[in-house]
Structure 1
Amino acid sequence: MFLPFSRYLAFALLSIHETVCTELGTSPFNLRPFSINLSSGVRTMLNKIKTTELPHFPEYPGVGSSFGIDLNTLKSLRKEWLTSFDWGKEQDSMNQFNHFEATIEDLTIHFIHEKSSDPDAIPLLLLHGWPGSFLEFLPVIDQLVQTATTSLGKSISFDVIVPSLPGFVFSSPPPANWTVHDTARVFNTLMTDVLGYSTFAVHGTDFGVGPGYALYDEFNKTTRAAHFVFLPFYPLKPDALQALNITLSPLEKFEEQEFIQWDSSGSGYFLEQSTKPNTLGLALYDTPVGQLAWIGEKFISWSDPHAGTGGSVLDSNEILRSVSLYYLTRSFISSLYIYAQNPHGFATEYTKAHTNAPMLFSAFKYNVAFWPPALAEKVGNLVLYRNHESGGHFPGLENPSALIEDLREIGTYWTT
Structure 2
Amino acid sequence: MRVSLAKLFALGVLAGSSQASPVQPQHTPQVHPFTVNLSSRVPRMLEQIRSTQLLSQPVYIDTGNANGITLHDLKSFQKQWLTAFNWESEQKEINKFKHYTTLIEGLTIHFVHEKSNATDAIPLVLLHGWPGSFLEFIPIIEELTKQATTASGKKVSFDVIVPSLPGFAFSSAPPVNWTFPDSARLINTLVTQVLHYDTYALFGTDIGGGIGWELYDQYNTTVRAAHLAFLPFLPLNSAQLDAQNITLNSLEAFEESVTTEWSTTGEGYFLEHTTKSNTTKPNTIGLALQDNAVGQLAWIGEKFLNWSDPSAGSAPSILTHHEILRHVSLYYLTESFASSVVIYAQNPQGFSSAYRKARTDAPLLFSAFKYNVGFWPPALVAQTGNLVLYNNHNFGGHFPGLDNPPALLGDLREIGNYWK
TM, length-normalised to structure 2:
0.92
Q: 1:360 aligns with which of 360, 365, 387?
A: 365
Q: How many equivalent pairs are there?
A: 390
Q: 2:352 aligns with which of 318, 335, 347?
A: 347
- Displacement of 1:61 in angstroms is 3.0
Alpha-carbon deviations, 1:271-290, whole Å to 9, x = none? 00001110000111111000
Q: 2:401 aligns with which of 391, 396, 402?
A: 396
Do 2:111 and 2:164's aligned partners in 1 also have CA atoms closer than 8 Å?
yes
Give the 3-state SS of the residue equivalent to 1:371 in structure 2: coil
Tell me the residue number matched to 1:333. 338
What is the rounded CA distance, in whole Å, between the counterparts of 1:29 and 1:53 in structure 2? 47
Tell me the residue number matched to 1:130. 130
**Matches of residues 1-400 of structure 1 in structure 2 within 5 Å?**
28-275=28-275, 276-400=281-405
What is the rounded CA distance, in whole Å, between the counterparts of 1:119 and 1:407 in structure 2? 19
- Displacement of 1:27 in angstroms is 5.9
- Displacement of 1:62 in angstroms is 3.0
What is the rounded CA distance, in whole Å, between the counterparts of 2:288 and 2:267 in structure 1? 19
What is the rounded CA distance, in whole Å, between the counterparts of 1:182 and 1:286 in structure 2? 28
What is the rounded CA distance, in whole Å, between the counterparts of 1:303 and 1:206 in structure 2? 13
Tell me the residue number matched to 1:8. none
Give the 3-state SS of the residue equivalent to 2:125 in structure 1: strand
Do 2:216 and 2:358's aligned partners in 1 also have CA atoms closer than 8 Å?
yes
What is the rounded CA distance, in whole Å, between the counterparts of 2:346 and 2:267 in structure 1? 17
% of aligned pairs identical?
Answer: 61
- Displacement of 1:29 in angstroms is 1.1
Alpha-carbon deviations, 1:287-334, whole Å to 9, x = none? 100000000000000000000011211000100010000000000000
What is the rounded CA distance, in whole Å, between the counterparts of 1:267 and 1:52 in structure 2? 27
Do 2:85 and 2:322's aligned partners in 1 also have CA atoms closer than 8 Å?
yes
What is the rounded CA distance, in whole Å, between the counterparts of 1:351 and 1:332 in structure 2? 32
What is the rounded CA distance, in whole Å, between the counterparts of 2:144 and 2:329 in structure 1? 27
Do 2:229 and 2:368's aligned partners in 1 also have CA atoms closer than 8 Å?
yes
- Displacement of 1:28 in angstroms is 3.9
TM, length-normalised to structure 1:
0.93
What is the rounded CA distance, in whole Å, between the counterparts of 1:134 and 1:238 in structure 2? 34
One-letter code of the match for 1:283?
A
What is the rounded CA distance, in whole Å, between the counterparts of 2:31 and 2:114 in structure 1? 15
Gapped runs of 5+ residues in structure 2? 1-25, 276-280
Do 2:42 and 2:333's aligned partners in 1 also have CA atoms closer than 8 Å?
yes
Give the 3-state SS of the residue equivalent to 2:365 in structure 1: strand
One-letter code of the match for 1:364?
F
RMSD: 0.8
What is the rounded CA distance, in whole Å, between the counterparts of 2:69 and 2:94 in structure 1? 28
What is the rounded CA distance, in whole Å, between the counterparts of 1:321 and 1:309 in structure 2? 18
What is the rounded CA distance, in whole Å, between the counterparts of 2:415 and 2:292 in structure 1? 42
Gapped runs of 5+ residues in structure 1? 1-25
- Displacement of 1:349 in angstroms is 0.5
Alpha-carbon deviations, 1:174-206, whole Å to 9, x = none? 001110100100110100010010000010000
What is the rounded CA distance, in whole Å, between the counterparts of 2:322 and 2:165 in structure 1? 23
- Displacement of 1:156 in angstroms is 0.3
Tell me the residue number matched to 1:7. none
What is the rounded CA distance, in whole Å, between the counterparts of 1:27 and 1:141 in structure 2? 30
What is the rounded CA distance, in whole Å, between the counterparts of 1:347 and 1:66 in structure 2? 27
Moved more, 56-65 or 281-290: 56-65
What is the rounded CA distance, in whole Å, between the counterparts of 1:325 and 1:216 in structure 2? 29
One-letter code of the match for 1:217?
D
